[in-house]
Amino acid sequence: MSFDRKDVIKIAHLARLDITEAEVTATTESLSRILGLIEQMNAVDTKAVAPMAHPQDAALRLRDDRVSEPDQRDKFQQIAPATEAGLYLVPKVIE
């Protein structure tokens, strides 16, 4: 299987990446080649193999439900593009 322009435009939208017409052409070509590489995986029958997510197959730890971090909001918001009254500002989403 290979990518066509429509696929690339759809994936770029899912990934929230603007893509220009010229980029669609180059990206379609390079992604198709990478897909060709990836599809070498299909040569192996893995029906009997359990998927492996992590090298140690470890379960996530639980911790006590208590406050462990100090409030650093002001420090963290100093590097934000736009804030007001301790809130992050984004373009209006509700009319």
Tell me which residues touch another protein (CB under 8 A). Answer: 7-8, 11-19, 27, 30-31, 33-42, 44, 46, 49-56, 58, 60-61, 63, 72, 75-76, 78-82, 88, 90-93
In three-state secondary structure terms, 63 is coil
Q: Which is nearer to another protein, 67 or 78 (CB)?
A: 78
Residue 85, exposed/middle/buried by CB under 10 A (0-12, 13-18, 19+)? Answer: exposed
Give all strands (DSSP E) within the chain, no chain letters: 83-84, 87-88
Smallest separation, CB 25 to another protein (Å): 13
Q: Which is nearer to another protein, 21 or 75 (CB)?
A: 75
